[in-house]
Structure 1
Amino acid sequence: MADAGSGSGGGGAYMKREADRDNTFKTFVWNSQTNQFMGRTGASWFKIGVFYIIFYMFLAGFFAVMMTVFYQTLDTNFLPKYTPGGGGSLLRNPAMGFRPLPRQENVESTLIWYKNGDNADIKHWVESLNKFIGPYEGTSEVTSGQHVTDCHEDKLPQENEVCRFEDKWLKGKCQKAESWGFNRESPCIILKLNKMIRWEPDVYTSHDELPSNMPQSLQNIIKDYNSTEGKIPKMIWVSCEGENPADQEYIGPITYYPWQGFPAYYFPYMNTPGYLSPIVAVQFERPMSNVLINIECRAWAKNIVHDRQNRLGLVHFELLKD
């Protein structure tokens, strides 16, 4: 009997606690004695509501003012505030890139390694170059509303014009139809300068200005222009060599298309729609097989600095043909 009474008393106490809890919550939501809703009177809710309305209006206004000030600093032509030609920029030296790039699993590598005569193995390199050259096909059309025009030293592009560069200017085995020479033991590598807005090359105008560390073969080409035509083409010149004496022995003859450099009239780059960077296709005609060849290509102008450690004004890659 005592146990039954105890159990009944315990159940009643539990139900009483639950009822008190319900009453407490209901009182918190609405207290009819003090006319408070969730612990605040109507006047208190009004005051805090007005405070937060004014607070968030101030934040919204401050954000709008800051965005207005920020947009005043932007160029409507999508040009950065600091550029090489506009001052204030530390980026004053263009970098040079090469194609084709190694496979995705070796993305940090600079090794171009393929098996001669193995179409499956060279497929990656050929398709990579085909994809890269795609935008250069059919550039006689009007691109993005901007006129693509033919340029030369006496006919520079006008405002909102871009100079044409066509894939058909590439000759030799450096063509899509020739599989870029990879199936002929004469692989082609494409070089390009990275885009730098407002950067203009300070070109060599006399053979007396040529630096002493410029390869003698390139100096001879520039001097021939100077003697036969009376002037040197306004060009960012390009040279590719083996980095070491052994590499220079194994690299073999080299041919450049369509020029041994980038014509100066393609610069400066101004983010004009339809602009395509000029390219140089380098054909290695007879590189030694089964030998790793270290190659360095340099761009030459008076305002291009060469720095191997920081890869300024040059590009390095290795070529291995099995």
Structure 2
Amino acid sequence: MADKTKVAEQYYAPPPDLGKWESLRIFLWNSETGQFLGRTGSSWAKILLFYLIFYAVLVGFFAAMLAIFYQTLDSRMPKWQMDSSLIGNNPGLGFRPMPDSANVESTLIYYKANDKGSVLKWAQVIDDYLEQYRKKGSGSGEASGAENRVPCFPTSHNLSEKQVCDVPIEEFHPCTSANQYNYEEAGPCVFLKLNKIFNWIPDSYNSTDNLPARMPEDLKQHIKLVSGKPEANTVWVSCEGENPADVENIGPVQYIPRRGFPAYYYPFTNKEGYLSPLVAVLFEKPRTGVLINIECRAWAKNINYDRYERRGSVHFELMVDRS
């Protein structure tokens, strides 16, 4: 007699062995259970509602945080300035023309003085860069901010809230477009600019007191001539050969229209139309066919110099060929 208390054994019945296409058809739509892609209509509605609410809250939270963040910013000035900023308070130097962007690590200016194509190539690079300096205010709005630029002088440059000092590139002769920046004469011009740092004001060497020992003698003599005059309030520049051989090969150097960047261009406060002042360095007679390593340096009491980290200076190579 069978034990009535014994639970009858039950066996799991495996699902029918369906083919690949039949399984796919049932996954897409199961008519018996009303499931689409493995879920019923109510299951799909619940999960879609969950993700709709989840992403709506996420987007709302992100938008709120972004709005709060923008309240802490000023569109015309950086929040962190000078020592508190990533770039610090030590401006560096830049030069133009820059070599081809295809080789970003190159700092070589090489051309053939008797090859018009080679000369025009470099002249065009400078033309393109100086185009922004040629735009003058016309009142038509054609050149944004150009109408704010006014002539400034060491003795008088009272500016309104919107005005900025103009950079008169027509005074840079012979470093002009009409003269192809003197490249055809094998005496090329290289333009220097001081990098912008918001609210930075130069502390100039405006007298012969406590001039650095490493300052070039010709610059010391120049400062002595203008000492005590408004022209002395300048960020001075000097360009020299880096090595003894380079010093011999570089030849005479002119600084046009002046020996540095006048202090009345500073501070940079992001006014519309502001342009960095320029110094055109004319290498009158560099030795041809020779690679010359050149270092240009900015001189001010609050510009720190380090050759290896390129602080307060810029390096480039110049090679003029006549063959």
Deviations 1:216-248 (A, max 9, x none): 10010001112xx65652110011111122222
Letter of the 2:203 partner, please give it. Answer: D
Q: What does residue 95 of structure 1 align with?
A: 92
Normalized against structure 2, the TM-score is what?
0.82
Once residues 116 and 300 of structure 1 are traced to their aligned partners in structure 2, the CA distance between those partners, rounded to angstroms, is 32
Once residues 184 and 137 of structure 1 are traced to their aligned partners in structure 2, the CA distance between those partners, rounded to angstroms, is 24
Answering whether residue 133 of structure 2 is matched by residue 131 of structure 1, we say no
The answer to whether the Cα contact below 8 Å between 1:83 and 1:199 also exists between their aligned partners in 2 is: no
Shift of 1:66: 1.5
Q: What does residue 81 of structure 1 align with?
A: 79
Aligned residues: 300
Q: Pairwise mapping of residues 232-271 of structure 1 onto structure 2 (< 5 A)?
A: 233-271=232-270
Q: What does residue 284 of structure 1 align with?
A: 283
Once residues 281 and 293 of structure 1 are traced to their aligned partners in structure 2, the CA distance between those partners, rounded to angstroms, is 18
Deviations 1:176-196 (A, max 9, x none): 111111111211111111222
Letter of the 1:182 partner, please give it. Answer: Y
Once residues 155 and 23 of structure 1 are traced to their aligned partners in structure 2, the CA distance between those partners, rounded to angstroms, is 81
Shift of 1:105: 4.4
Of the three residues 164, 167, 172, the one matched with 1:165 is: 167
Q: What does residue 116 of structure 2 align with?
A: 119
Q: Pairwise mapping of residues 98-247 of structure 1 onto structure 2 (< 5 A)?
A: 98-141=95-138, 143-145=143-145, 147-153=148-154, 154-171=156-173, 173-226=174-227, 230=229, 233-247=232-246
Residues 261-270 or 215-224, more deviating: 261-270
SS of equivalent to 1:296: strand
Q: What does residue 9 of structure 1 align with?
A: none
Shift of 1:90: 4.8
Shift of 1:50: 4.5
RMSD: 2.9
Letter of the 1:54 partner, please give it. Answer: I
Change (3 A) 1:24 1:186: closer
The answer to whether the Cα contact below 8 Å between 1:206 and 1:231 also exists between their aligned partners in 2 is: no
Shift of 1:97: 1.1
Once residues 106 and 22 of structure 1 are traced to their aligned partners in structure 2, the CA distance between those partners, rounded to angstroms, is 58
Shift of 1:40: 5.7
Change (3 A) 1:149 1:231: closer
Letter of the 2:118 partner, please give it. Answer: D
Higher helix content, 1 or 2:
1
Letter of the 1:259 partner, please give it. Answer: R
Once residues 266 and 305 of structure 2 are traced to their aligned partners in structure 1, the CA distance between those partners, rounded to angstroms, is 20
Gaps of 5+ in 1: 1-15
Residues 261-270 or 107-116, more deviating: 107-116
SS of equivalent to 2:315: strand
Change (3 A) 1:207 1:140: farther
Q: What does residue 8 of structure 1 align with?
A: none
SS of equivalent to 2:192: strand
